[in-house]
Every structure is written in structure tokens, then in C-alpha cells.
Amino acid sequence: MSDTNIFKVLADKQRRDILVMLKNGRMNAGEIAEELGVTPAALSYHLKMLKGADLIMEYKQKNFIYYEINTSVFDELILWIGQFGGDK
């Protein structure tokens, strides 16, 4: 997991909404902003926070930057949380 506090990043509803959108596949910033109804500046801030926590990755393709969820970080997070439940 990244040095950035993942839980702090996930505490914001708009960032969680972005992750839910990206679970269906790559999207560019314009598509995300339109879906969320936010300004480009606000979206840029949220994407920066998500990238800082390694929760998303970006890919450049021609004139667009596409964003995709980084499932490996979620796998690590699930394993970490899993240690607190189960058999005693």
C-alpha cells in the first residue's frame, strides 16, 4: 500500500464514486467529469488523490489520458482487513 492514507482518500464520496465508475473499465477525465457533474479542477484534485494512494492508474492514448482502477491495492487492503476477522 502507498504511503498516502488510503482510508483518508476513500473517505470522500466523490472519490468512491469515481472508483465505482472505473470498476467497469477505463474512462477519460472528460467522461468522469461529465458523469460526476464536477469541474475539471475539482476532478483533477480527486484524481491526484486517487493516484497518490495508487488506487488508480493512468494511461496515455493519443490525445487522451485514461484512468483505470488498480485492483492490486484493493487486494492488499482486503487481505489486511481480513486479519481482523475469522477464527479466534
pLDDT tops 70 at residue 43: yes
Q: Which domains does the chain have, with CATH numbers?
A: 6-82 (1.10.10.10)
pLDDT value at position 5?
A: 86
pLDDT for residue 27: 96
| Amino acid 77: pLDDT | 87
Which has more confidence, 87 or 58? 58
Give the C-alpha separation, 40 to 50, whole Å.
Answer: 15
List the Cα angle 57/75/45 in 5-degree steps: 35
> Hunting for cell 487522451 — which residue is that?
64
pLDDT band, residue 87 (cuts 50/70/90): low
Which pTM does this prediction carry? Answer: 0.86
